[in-house]
């Protein structure tokens, strides 16, 4: 039976205006990094540390773990300002966005006390281990596995498209802890893997820009102590699905190309033809629509809902938008294009193929959307 989606109108409260001004003032004073067109590519432990000192990591988490006790909408403001500026947020991003909330929901008290304050201080960074070679984003087909040993587990296998593994300290990894059965989603668990372990090997994956923000990670008999198991063994699938709404619905799903758009609009103020003006209006309209949808999901998360289908739709539409922006602007470059526009455009085009990998491929997302709508 067909079921609809819920994008109830939501807006940011007026009270966040001061916070937005504070973030912009902070970014204006920051001078030791260059803006980027892909938040995955910009990673600076020192920048993350300075953000932490302002209380902008773990903003929504309980104060007893060092968090700010703020709302999802306040965090949204900080997030979109950082992304719009092209700030180097890659180090702390995953820990702040989803690893921390995962531990708050499923972790033990000992895990929360160990990891959350360190994340909030900007001292502890996380990656995600989901996709695998030969299985891609079909998480039900993962082969990385762990067997029970005295005091914990022995982990073997490989993960791919792992952002920031060469910089981070831990990786929340989805592994198979029981033999496959008719229920493809059963028998999976999540481990916190110390990725600086000597039995963990990290190999960078070069993108078209010659950079290696994605990695393939290999596990060779890595010992995982029982205290590093997240939630209940065998509950990994449900836990992963619960955290993906955080990954798929935020402004990072459609702001990777924002710098290209702003540089393009800036050039049009000097000289523009009708087609260029129409294109700018079209791209801005799409951006505003995606932002309103994203804020609606942030409001649902604030209310304790888990809008998985809505988040998947935002990610799918955002991917289309992020690929469309640089390609259409490339075809309609102003005669007087600035050096900053050309530089941003080049960087965005070279990074654009990776945009579809983050948070699941489009084929996977559309399957989730179809199920959420009752169509399969």
Q: Which residues are catalytic?
A: 247
- Distance from C-alpha of 59 to C-alpha of 135, rounded to nearest angstrom: 35
- Distance from C-alpha of 197 to C-alpha of 200, rounded to nearest angstrom: 5
- Distance from C-alpha of 32 to C-alpha of 46, rounded to nearest angstrom: 10
Pairing of strands 188-194, 126-129: unpaired
Crossing angle between the packed helical segments 308-331 and 236-249, to the nearest 10 degrees: 40
Indicate the helix (H) or strand (E) that contains 216. Answer: strand 214-225
- Distance from C-alpha of 66 to C-alpha of 64, rounded to nearest angstrom: 6
Residue 120 and residue 64 in contact, taking contact as beta carbons nearer than 8 Å: no
- Distance from C-alpha of 187 to C-alpha of 231, rounded to nearest angstrom: 13
Q: What are phi and psi of 279, to 5 degrees?
A: -60, -45
């Amino acid at each position: 039976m067909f079921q609809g989606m819920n994008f109830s109108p939501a807006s940011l409260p007026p009270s966040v205006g001061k916070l937005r001004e504070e973030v912009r003032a902070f970014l204006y004073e920051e001078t030791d990094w260059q803006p980027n067109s892909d938040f995955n590519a910009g990673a600076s432990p020192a920048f993350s540390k300075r953000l932490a000192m302002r209380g902008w990591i773990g903003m929504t988490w309980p104060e007893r773990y060092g968090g700010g006790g703020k709302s999802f909408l306040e965090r949204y403001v900080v997030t979109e300002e950082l992304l719009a500026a092209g700030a180097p947020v890659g180090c702390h991003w995953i820990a702040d966005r989803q690893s921390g909330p995962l531990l708050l929901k499923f972790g033990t008290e000992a895990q929360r006390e160990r990891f959350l304050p360190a994340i909030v201080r900007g001292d502890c960074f996380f990656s995600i281990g989901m996709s695998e070679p030969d299985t891609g984003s079909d998480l039900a087909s993962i082969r990385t596995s762990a067997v029970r040993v005295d005091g914990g587990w022995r982990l073997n296998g490989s993960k791919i498209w792992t952002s920031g593994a060469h910089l981070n300290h831990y990786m929340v990894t989805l592994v198979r802890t029981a033999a496959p059965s008719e229920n493809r989603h059963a028998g999976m668990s999540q481990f916190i893997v110390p990725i600086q372990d000597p039995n963990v090997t990290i190999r960078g994956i070069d993108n078209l820009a010659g950079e290696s923000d994605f990695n393939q990670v290999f596990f060779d008999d890595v010992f995982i102590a029982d205290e590093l198991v997240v939630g209940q063994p065998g509950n990994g699938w449900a836990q992963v699905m619960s955290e993906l709404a955080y990954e798929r619905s935020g402004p990072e799903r459609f702001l990777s190309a924002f710098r290209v758009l702003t540089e393009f609009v800036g050039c049009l103020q000097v000289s523009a033809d009708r087609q260029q003006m129409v294109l700018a209006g079209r791209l801005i309209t799409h951006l505003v629509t995606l932002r309103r949808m994203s804020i609606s999901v942030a409001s649902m998360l604030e209310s304790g809902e888990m809008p998985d289908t809505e988040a998947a739709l935002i990610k799918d539409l955002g991917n289309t938008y992020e690929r469309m922006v640089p390609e259409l602007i490339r075809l309609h470059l102003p005669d007087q294009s600035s050096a900053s526009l050309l530089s941003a455009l080049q960087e965005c085009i070279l990074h654009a193929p990776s945009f579809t990998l983050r948070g699941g491929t489009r084929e996977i997302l559309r399957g989730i959307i179809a199920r959420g709508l009752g169509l399969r």
